[in-house]
Amino acid sequence: MSIGTSSAVTTPAAGAARARTLTIWAGRSTVFIGLGHIAFFAAQTRSSWGDWLSGALHGRAAMEDPANLDSLRLFWALPGSFAVPLILLGLLVVRMARTGQEIPRYLGWTLAAWVLLCGWILEPSGFPLGLAPTALLLLAHRARPEARPDPEETA
């Protein structure tokens, strides 16, 4: 190897460490997006909290009442949103990465499809932020060393 160049070949341990780091950051960024969503909408929905806790939205008639339309809309922006499941997904991804478990490739691709579709439907929105953990998950999968059969096992 000459001065100023580096080998493009990575050892399996280095690839696994890079994949682990990328996956952990994907999970952390997913948690951050969920927490950011909650923080953003908590301030905007404060006026409806009393209605939600008092049961003003219970029953079909209450949900169809035009007087409850704003409260119902705000419900889907905060407690009924995907913020809490997104936080839980991020925490699960971090834990799986820390314990050495591989995140399935379909998680990154499905998350990418959901983020792109929702971002296309509703713009401006925060959905493009989801491209960061998506890209990290997909890069982590590419960085993970492929399982190669042990030569002694095949002989």
pLDDT digits 0-9 by tens, 35-65: 999 999 998 898 888 888 888 888 888 778 8
Kindly state the DSSP code that residue 126 receives in the 8-state scheme: S
Q: What does the alpha-carbon distance between residue 31 and residue 83 come to, in Å, rounded to a whole number?
A: 9
Query: Is there a contact between 132 and 108 (Cβ–Cβ < 8 Å)?
Result: no
What mean pLDDT do residues 101-112 have?
92
Output Rg (C-alpha) for the chain, integer angstroms: 22
Q: What does the alpha-carbon distance between residue 132 and residue 112 come to, in Å, rounded to a whole number?
A: 10
Q: Is the bond preceding 12 in cis, omega lying within 30 degrees of 0? A: no
